[in-house]
Amino acid sequence: VVARLESDTPVNMSTAGKVIKCKAAVLWAANTPFSIEEVEVAPPKADEVRIKIVATGVCRSDDHVVTGGLVRPFPIILGHEAAGVVESVGEGVTSIKPGDKVIPLFIPQCGKCNCCLSTKGNLCIKNEIGSGTGLMPDGTTRFTCKGKAVHHFLGTSTFSEYTVVHESAVAKIDSAAPLEKVCLIGCGFSTGYGAVVQTAKVESGSTCAVFGLGGVGLAVVMGCKAAGASRIIAIDINKDKFAKAKELGATDCINPNDFKKPIHEVLIEMTGHGVDYSFEVVGLIETMTAALACCQNNYGVSVIVGVPPAAQKITFDPRLIFTGRTWKGSIFGGWKSKDEIPKLVADYMKKKFVLDPLITHTLPFNKINEGFDLLRTGK
């Protein structure tokens, strides 16, 4: 689902340095609907960028905050998968200018920490996933509503007509890119596709299993096809997902509820020895352990892509790893965000992959609650 906030038109530069009043979807408490409110968005401080959001995707990670699965302070403006146009920049910003088309980055790239400097990692130390403070790097917020400070989410907060991000958390993209499509490169597509080509490095001829066929799971299927996998087994309890999965490259689609035995045993029987690569894109500990167990017992690789539930622990037989399997995690598809997101947008513009099949509905911003209802019902 993509929520359309604004037309893809030039921004009004006369607002630079001033507080902007605009609409935002504020979440006042867990397990309540989003409330469309008028909020005040402060001007960007030094090293910050204020963005007019044009389109934002609806992602399961946002819903985890609604349900309490991901604990965050309230009130909060969620959203992290978006594209927009820069309205103004703070002092010292050099990589971005007003009028640029951009994608906000929930995994920033400061370029200075150990992960940014390493070729092996992408989880910049400036990320807000671990801390969960809901504040900008200086410890304050740029949003107020009804006289109350409103928290940020993952340094992006894209469920607002305007948002403020740190310069390290925004990437300039092709000025011709359609923002209502490439917003998906801000999370869902990049996360799934990158888990295959960056994290797992799937080889041509491989056998893959994909647990979960939401937007990210379908992007995993696309990545497996692009990598040349010979067999892509898609697994979901919602059979309505199977047609789209096959359209994007799945060779087999199976529903665990159709079998009396555990799904990992079904997959081992289907392949004779287990899959070369498996991807868990659900976010449940049961599917994480099943994805590990369905891998070939010596060289199989299983990648956790779905956001794990808070305060739950996995118990598994250590012999699953002792025989040689590898269990990996992938955050934002392993991409170094500021460097790689513009390249992915360029690849999309060159038609190296498609995004349209991942967009099921396009709704106006004030129907964001309907968007989440569609997400929760698997539609």
* Catalytic residue IDs: 59, 61, 64, 80, 187
- For residues 47 and 173, is the Cβ–Cβ distance under 8 A? no
Distance from chain centroid for Cα 373: 18
By three-state DSSP, how is residue 180 classified? Answer: helix
Cα–Cα distances in Å, from 328 out to 84, 133, 219, 225, 303?
A: 33, 27, 18, 20, 5
- Identity of the amino acid at 173: I
Show the tokens assigned to 306: 């779905």
- Identity of the amino acid at 65: V
- Identity of the amino acid at 115: C
Distance from chain centroid for Cα 26: 20
- Max Cα–Cα distance, the chain, nearest Å: 65
Residue 275 CA neighbour count, 13 Å, CB half: 33
- For residues 84 and 105, is the Cβ–Cβ distance under 8 A? no
Closest CA relative to residue 335, chosen from 108, 149, 29: 108
- For residues 230 and 199, is the Cβ–Cβ distance under 8 A? no
